[in-house]
Homo-oligomer: A and B are copies of this chain.
Amino acid sequence: MVGMQVVDVPKLAAPAPARVPVPAAKPFLQTLGANLKETFFPDDPFRAVAREEGRCRRAAAALRYVFPCLEWLPSYTLAALRSDLIAGVTVASLAVPQGISYAKLADLPPIMGLYSSFVPALVYAVMGSSKDVAVGTTAVGSLLFAAMLGKEASPADSPELYMHLAFTATFFAGVFQAGLGILRLGFVVDFLSHAAIVGFMGGAATVVCLQQLKGLLGLQHFTTSTDVVDVMRAVFSQTHMWRWQSVLLGCSFIVFLLVTRFFSKRRPRFFWVSAAAPLVSVIVGSVLVYLIHGENHGIQVIGNLAKGINPASAKNLILSPPHMMVALKTGIITSLIGLAEGIAVGRSFAMAKNYHVDGNKEMIAFGLMNIIGSCTSCYLTAGPFSRSAVNVNAGCKTAMSNAVMAVAVAITLLFLTPLFHYTPLVVLSAIIVSAMLGVIDFPAAARLWKVDKLDFCVCLGAYLGVVLGDIEIGLSIAVGISVLRILLFVARPRTTVLGNMPNSTIYRRMDQYTMAETVPGVLVLHVDSPIYFANASYLRERISRWIDEEEHRIKDAGEESLQCIVLDMGAVASIDTSGTKLIEDLKKSLDRKSMQIALANPGSEVMKKLDKSKVHGLIGDEWIFQTVAEACDNALLNCKIARSV
C-alpha cells in the first residue's frame, strides 16, 4: 500500500503523466459485427463496389466483381490476343500429354484427362481472377483419387463405379471449395503452412515417381498401396519380369525431358523447348512403336480413344450412401490440397506482376470449375504450378489463354484422338516422373532448415508421413505440428526484462541490447503475447520466478531492494477473464510484499477488459502509464518519497 499513501505528492513534484484512456463502451452487436467483418472480410472485397455512385454503376461493379472477365474484356486488345494465343497453344501442347498421363495415374480412362482441360478451362476464363493460372488436372490430386477411391471400388474390376465415384468426389470437392469461398472461410487453407505444403508435395511426388516404376519397368502386376516399403517389395520381388525395352525407352525419354527442362531454365527465351518436349516425346514414342510394332514386344500402348468432346455425366453422380461417403471424404481432402496449391500459385505470380488475387474469389472459381466439370465427364482440376509456369513464360496476358487452350484441346478431342493409339504408356510414365522431379523442392527444404528448424520439422513430418504412411497421415502430421506450434506459442509466451537504453527514455529487451541498464529498485517485464487462459498460470509462475530471481540477485549484490514491478503491456494484444484474474492476483500478492505494480502502454482492448473486471480500479489510474519510461520515473519518485517518509 506504499503507492496509495504518497500518490498525490509526485503530482506536485513532476508534471502528471498523461493517462491511458478507457475506450467508450460500444453496443455488443456493433462490436460483434465489426469483429465478424474483420474475420471474414479482411480485404473488404466490396469496397470497389461501395466506392461507385449510382445504382447502375454499382450493379456494373458488382458484376465485374463476380465475373472478373468483365474487367479485362472491354479493354482487350489484339496485341493481348496474340500473346494469349501463343501462350494458350503452348500450354495445350503440354496439357494434352500431361492430361493423358495424369488420368492414367488416377486409374481413369486417358480421355478424361483431355476432357478435364476443356470445360474447366472455359469456366476459369470467365470466373478466375488470376491472369496467369492455367487450369488442369494435378499429379497429386490424381494420385489421391487413385489411393482413396481405389479402396472403395477397384478400377480394374468395376471401372464404371470407380469413374462415377470420381465424378462424385469432384462434385463434392467443387461444392466444398465454392462453399468455403462464399462463406469467406478462405483462412482454413492458411492453416496448411508453406512448410507443410513443401513437405507434403515432395512426399506425394516421391510416391508418384515410385508408382511409375510399374510403367517404366513394364510390370503387369503391382501393389495398390503407396508407401515406399510396399512399393520396393513389389518392385524387387519380380525382377525377372522387368522388360529392358520398356526401361530403355522410359529412361531415354526421362533424360530427354530433363535435359530440355534444364536448357529452358538456363535460357528463358527458349521456354517452348521444355513446354513442347512432352508432346515431342509422345509423337516420337508413338511413331517408334508404330514402326517397330512395339505392342508385340511387350510395350503397352494407350489404345483406342473415343472421338468427340465431353459427354454429360451429371446423372452419374452418386448421391446416396454408402459410396457417397468415400467420395465426400476424397472430395474434401483433394479440394483443400487443390486450393492450397492453386491459390499459392496464383498469388505468387500475381505478386510478380503486381496485381491482387482474392483468395475467396479464387475458391469460388475453382469450386464452380469442379462442379461444372463433374457434370461434363471431368475430374478434379486445379491450378498446377508446371502448367501455370509455362503459361507465364509463354507470355500470357489474361485468363483468355485458358480459353485458347480449351479450344486447342477441343480440336484435339474432335479430330486428333486416333493419333494417340500407339502412344506407349512408358512415355506417359516418363512425362509424369520428369514433372514430379521438379516438384520435390530440395532448396526450399534446405532454406527451411536454415531459417526455422520447427518449420523444417513440419516439412519433414509431412514428407515422411506421406512416403512411409499414406497421404492422409502426412497431411494430419503437417497440420497437427503446425497447430501445435501456434498453441505452444500462446501457452508459453516469452517474458523478458527491459532495461533503459543509455541517455534516452527508451526501454528495450536486455537480452537483445547489451547496453540497456536496469533501473535500480524497479523490474520492467515485457510480455509478448495475449494473456489467455492457456498461459495465465504459466505467466503467474514465470513472473513470480522473475521477481524471486531479481530479489536474490539484489540481495547478493547488496543493491537497493525491489520496489516496483512495471509490466510492459505494449505487446499484449488481448486479455481474457483468466488474464485479468492474473493481473488482479499479481497486484494482491505484490501488495502483501509492499511492492507496487505499474502497467505501461496497455492497448484499448486490454484497458476495456481491465476496466470491466474492476482490475483497473484496483490498480488505480495513477499506476497505468502510456510509456515504460513514465512508469519507471513515477515508481522511482514514489518509492523514494515513501522511503523518506
Residues of A whose CB lies within 8 Å of any CB of B are 18, 21, 23, 28, 31-32, 38-39, 42-44, 47, 187, 190-196, 347, 351, 354, 356, 359, 447-448, 450-455, 482-483, 485-494, 501, 506, 508-509, 511-513, 528-530, 532-538, 541-542, 544-545, 570-571, 573-574, 576-578, 580-581, 585, 588-589, 592, 601, 603-605, 607, 609, 612-613, 626-627
Q: Could you say which residues of chain B place their CB within 8 Å of the CB of A538?
A: 42, 187, 190
With CB as the reference atom, state the residue of chain B lying closest to A188: B491
Contacts of A532 in B (CB 8 A): 193, 485-486, 489
**Assembly of this chain: how many copies?**
2
- The one of B39, B192, B452, B511 in contact with A576, judged by C-beta atoms closer than 8 angstroms, is B452
Roughly how many angstroms separate A577 CA and B492 CA in the complex, as a whole number? 20
CA A528 to CA B32, docked complex, whole Å = 20
Name the residue of chain B whose CB is nearest to the CB of A537.
Answer: B190
A528 touches B23 (CB 8 A): no
- Can you list 23 A-B contacts (CB < 8 A)? A21-B512, A38-B492, A39-B488, A42-B538, A187-B537, A190-B533, A190-B535, A190-B537, A192-B533, A193-B533, A193-B578, A196-B533, A356-B544, A486-B532, A506-B626, A508-B601, A508-B626, A509-B604, A512-B607, A528-B571, A529-B529, A529-B530, A571-B573
Bound-state Cα–Cα, A5 to B612, Å: 52
Instruction: State whether B492 touches A195 (Cβ < 8 A).
Output: no
> A542: which of B43, B489, B490, B541 is its contact (CB, 8 Å)?
B43
Say whether A494 contacts B573, CB under 8 Å. yes
A452: chain B residues at CB < 8 Å are: 576-577, 609
Q: Known A-B contacts: A195-B577, A486-B534, A506-B626. Give 7 more (CB < 8 A).
A: A187-B534, A191-B487, A191-B534, A193-B578, A359-B541, A454-B576, A494-B605
Q: Which residues of B contact A347 (CB under 8 A)?
A: 537
Determine if A455 and B486 form an interchain contact, defined as CB atoms under 8 angstroms apart. no
Closest 10 CB pairs of A and B: A193-B533, A571-B571, A528-B573, A512-B604, A43-B541, A451-B612, A451-B613, A455-B577, A194-B578, A486-B490
Given contacts A447-B577, A455-B576, A512-B21, contact A589 B191 (CB under 8 A): no
A453 close to B28 (CB less than 8 A): yes
Would A534 and B490 count as touching, CB distance under 8 A?
A: no
Q: CB-nearest residue of chain B relative to A575? A: B452
Question: What's the nearest-Cβ distance from chain B to residue A451, in Å?
Answer: 5
Chain B residue, CB-CB nearest to A449: B28
A568 CB to nearest chain B CB (Å): 9
A42 touches B541 (CB 8 A): yes
Q: Which residue of B lies closest to A530 (CB)?
A: B489
**Residue of B with least CB distance to A568:** B570
Question: Chain B nearest CB: distance from A137 CB in Å?
Answer: 25
In the complex, which residues of chain B have a beta carbon less than 8 angstroms from the beta carbon of A448?
577
Q: Is the CB of A573 within 8 A of B509?
A: no
Q: Report whether B190 and A534 are in contact in the complex, using a CB–CB cutoff of 8 Å.
A: yes
Could you tell me the distance between the alpha carbons of A455 and B533 in the complex, rounded to whole angstroms? 10
> Which residues from B are CB-within-8-Å of A609?
451-452
